[in-house]
Structure 1
Amino acid sequence: MADTPPRSDSELEPVRTTLFSKEPSGKTYRIPALIHLRHCHTFLAFAEKRTSSSDTDATLFVVRRGTQEEDGSIQWSSCQELSAASLPGHRTMNPCPVYEEQSKTLFLFFICILGKVTEQHQILTGRNRARLCYISSGDGGQNWSQVTDLTKSAIGATIREWATFAVGPGHGIQMQSGRLIIPAYAYYKPCCCWFVPIPGTVQPYAFSVYSDDLGHTWQIGEMLQKLSCECQMAEIIDQEGRSRLYCNARHTEYRREALSEDSGVNFDKPHNDRKLVEAKKSSGCQGSVVGFSAPNWALNSGGDTEASASSLLSPDMRTWLLFAHPTSKHSRIDLGVYLNRSALTSQGWEKPWIVHRGPSGYSDLAYDKDKDQFSCLMECGIKSETEEIAFMSFTLYDIMQAASQHQEKTC
């Protein structure tokens, strides 16, 4: 990798804590998922434990618990295996946690795939070998229920149209209405010949899995109208209080975005966002998005000097977005966070702040509204993005300071 020029102190990356590291034996930890439990001031960091970096060598989930101390530090527990999140003869993949506030129930969604059957084999044969599952916890992840297989009740006969499917990976959300949202995608089979898909016709489309009864029952929404793969979703609220569900999905050259007016049942026609590039060498990469309340100074700024300094300020939006993803259009390097203060426009994304220079992969964002602080769990390393999964935290001020410095340099 080419040398990068020295940076000033103001450009330094956030301090990161390594939570999972590749072992000398070859055991690798991949596919991070992060959730912040506000009621108990706790982070849960999930990952897949694999015997190698290959998808077919995934085994089960591991988790570390981060307790927030009064001084702002986080004390992390040792690594624990989640044996409850499994089905006999299957490997466990794609952690996707979501918290239901009324019942104080934490759901951990995932897929279980038969043996070592690859995604590509399922796509070529049209024979799905994935199951939709979850476990739940009523005590903030201290103890977990037995596994629930939702494949039949939530997907039903529709699964005959899919070669395979997955959730997330990364976090789900609960909307203001109480609806729980799990992001998902499936490889749809448009046509078959003697029950075998016609080569090249099986393609991925994103959709939501949702519940309106505190997670007792779940159903699936309609697929996006254009090709879209691994995705995450966020609720955005305008100044009049109207809610929309935003979907940000992996594609080939640029990220795909879509909005839903009915909370994830249907989405409008997706579009490519040319400010959010994908790495061509790896056919893109998973990314993470969170929505958060716009700061009061922005919503009530009027002629405020600080607010008017931004040409992209959108006072008609109560929700801003933050997106994490590798910033190179060539390969998975230089993980950046992008701020969007105008989520309903196609030009809302600002230049990214690079929070890790070097190999970077999958990531997951969380937002602590009490501390007004963001956290990111990310794959990263020096020579490869599969070397470790690390945790870091930063504030909106940090992001905006980085943007201001970038603007000064380009003027």
Structure 2
Amino acid sequence: MSQATTCPKQQGGDGESPPLPASPLVFPRETLFRQASGVTYRIPALLYVPPAATFLAFAEKRSSPRDEDAKYLVLRRGRRHGTSVEWGPVEELSALVLPGRRTMNPCPLYEARSGTVFLFCICVERGKTERRQIWRGCSAVRLCCATSPDGGRSWSPLRDVTDEAVGADLSRWATFAVGPGHGVQLDSGRLVVPAYAYYVHGCLCGVVPLPCNTRQHALVFYSDDGGRSWHKGALVTGGQTGECQVAEIGGSDAHRPLLYCNARAPRGCRAVAFSADRGLRFERSAPCEALGEPPRGCQGSVVSFAAATGDAPTWLLYSHPTNRHRRRDLGIYLNPSPRDGAGWRRPWVLHPGPAGYSDLAVCPGGVFGCLFECGVTSACEEIAFCLFTLDTSTCGEQNPKSS
């Protein structure tokens, strides 16, 4: 039996909003990865493979919640049957490693023309923390990917694409990472992997070593040949932008398609940027006041989907902790006007309590999946999954526009 959430009537802007989805119909959730003695699972990534009606749920296996204690990636495959999913056992992807390195930040995407699943990740030298890399201005990260021709049942060996995708700029990147969370294939066929880099803007040299002047910038890696070769787009300028995800928002008679980037930012709210050339360059990022961040921020997920009603051909869905003081109360936000930062509806709380990273997936028939970190006393206790659909009642109104 499914359980629906409810929300109170919200105050909108001037006039009446058209009927829009209000609260999701949330189906029973299932714990896919659970913390145990000496084992923690973090950093969820979710991919839906349409031909097989299969979910691929990835995470990092760690010996503690700390980033530096990551080991390798794990996977569970789930077969969707309407509004339920039958999950297989945990599969340890311990072969997807580079010697002397830990595998982190799963970022899967599906290439529909060949039916290939790409799994991007970073492989980091053991003992090298992100803080140490930033301090010294010297990256210990390699960009890698594996492929699966059969929906995640088997995987190729890891392929190190750092030199071709990053090239000489690696000397100016203190560290970098992909996602975490899913990548996308655009309508043009281009494959896009969201990423961020700490760019070294200058170093303070002297007898006593001083930290480098680095700043975070979101960017994307992309391929126009079905994943045979990979390249990088330009760094997003403006304020600092970190962990990010991207979504293509469709065009209309007046607008061509844009690539929308939603990034973690350090100033109390998310940062967004748009690209008119499919990720080669983004406009300067701008703060999105409607999407708040807790102190130090948190990763969030965004997907676009075809709208059944409204003027925009695509809408955006976003998941992130709703509490601005700590990582808790995972919420789902809807924006029927993707170009408008004030168009985000007030969120529905999917999980009350501690919550962290999450990833969304779009399924046929108006069904969505969410994989998220949560717990009773800590967000690191488990990684759970649930399906939900958007209710057609109208218990929510649009957030007022800023004047």
Shared topology, TM-score over 0.5? Answer: yes
Structure 2 stretches of 5 or more lacking a match? 8-24, 399-403
1:305 corresponds in structure 2 to: none
1:285 to 298, 317, 322: 298
2:203 corresponds in structure 1 to: 192
SS, match of residue 281 in structure 2: coil
5 Å matches for 1:9-408?
Answer: 10=6, 14-23=27-36, 25-69=37-81, 72-194=83-205, 199=211, 201-226=213-238, 227-240=240-253, 242-252=256-266, 253-280=268-295, 283-295=296-308, 298-299=309-310, 315=311, 317-368=312-363, 370-397=364-391, 401=393, 404-405=394-395
Q: Which amino acid aligns with 2:262?
A: N
Is the 1:14–1:355 Cα contact (8 Å) retained in structure 2?
Answer: no
Question: For 1:196-241, what per-residue CA distance to the aligned partner results, in whole angstroms no more than 9, with x for missing partners?
Answer: 9963621110000000000000000001102100000000012237
Cα gap change, 1:354/1:157 in structure 2, threshold over 3 Å: closer, same or farther?
A: same
Cα gap change, 1:238/1:9 in structure 2, threshold over 3 Å: closer, same or farther?
A: closer
RMSD over aligned Cα atoms? 1.9
Cα gap change, 1:294/1:331 in structure 2, threshold over 3 Å: closer, same or farther?
A: same
CA distance in 2, matches of 1:233, 1:122: 26
Q: Give 1:72 shift.
A: 3.7
SS, match of residue 298 in structure 2: coil
Q: Which amino acid aligns with 1:201?
A: N
Larger fraction in helix: 1
Cα gap change, 1:41/1:183 in structure 2, threshold over 3 Å: closer, same or farther?
A: same
Q: Give 1:193 shift.
A: 3.9
CA distance in 2, matches of 1:363, 1:197: 38
Is the 2:193–2:222 Cα contact (8 Å) retained in structure 1?
Answer: yes
SS, match of residue 117 in structure 1: coil
SS, match of residue 166 in structure 2: helix
Cα gap change, 1:277/1:267 in structure 2, threshold over 3 Å: closer, same or farther?
A: same
SS, match of residue 344 in structure 1: coil
SS, match of residue 174 in structure 2: strand
Is the 1:126–1:197 Cα contact (8 Å) retained in structure 2?
Answer: no
Question: For 1:99-119, what per-residue CA distance to the aligned partner results, in whole angstroms no more than 9, with x for missing partners?
Answer: 111111110000000012100
Q: Give 1:292 shift.
A: 0.3
Q: Give 1:324 shift.
A: 0.2
CA distance in 2, matches of 1:204, 1:187: 4
SS, match of residue 347 in structure 1: helix
Between stretches 240-249 and 387-396, larger displacement belongs to 240-249
Percent of residue pairs bearing the same amino acid type: 49
SS, match of residue 213 in structure 2: coil
CA distance in 2, matches of 1:343, 1:96: 23
Q: Give 1:371 shift.
A: 2.2
Q: Give 1:406 shift.
A: 5.0
Is the 1:289–1:323 Cα contact (8 Å) retained in structure 2?
Answer: yes
CA distance in 1, matches of 2:353, 2:27: 14
Structure 1 stretches of 5 or more lacking a match? 1-6, 300-314
Between stretches 13-22 and 171-180, larger displacement belongs to 13-22
Is the 1:18–1:391 Cα contact (8 Å) retained in structure 2?
Answer: yes
Q: Give 1:372 shift.
A: 1.3
Cα gap change, 1:193/1:352 in structure 2, threshold over 3 Å: closer, same or farther?
A: same
CA distance in 2, matches of 1:274, 1:80: 40
Is the 1:189–1:197 Cα contact (8 Å) retained in structure 2?
Answer: no
Cα gap change, 1:143/1:330 in structure 2, threshold over 3 Å: closer, same or farther?
A: same
Q: Give 1:26 shift.
A: 2.7
CA distance in 2, matches of 1:179, 1:9: 37
CA distance in 1, matches of 2:231, 2:252: 30
CA distance in 2, matches of 1:14, 1:276: 25
TM-score (norm 2): 0.90
Is the 2:315–2:334 Cα contact (8 Å) retained in structure 1?
Answer: yes
SS, match of residue 187 in structure 2: coil
Q: Which amino acid aligns with 2:286?
A: H
Cα gap change, 1:32/1:197 in structure 2, threshold over 3 Å: closer, same or farther?
A: farther
CA distance in 2, matches of 1:120, 1:35: 30
Q: Which amino acid aligns with 1:53?
A: P
Is the 1:91–1:116 Cα contact (8 Å) retained in structure 2?
Answer: no
CA distance in 2, matches of 1:65, 1:278: 31
Q: Which amino acid aligns with 1:250?
A: R
Cα gap change, 1:197/1:31 in structure 2, threshold over 3 Å: closer, same or farther?
A: farther
Q: Which has the higher contact order (CA 8 A, sep 6+)?
A: 2
Q: Give 1:269 shift.
A: 1.2
Count of equivalent residues: 375
Cα gap change, 1:197/1:39 in structure 2, threshold over 3 Å: closer, same or farther?
A: farther
Cα gap change, 1:15/1:157 in structure 2, threshold over 3 Å: closer, same or farther?
A: same
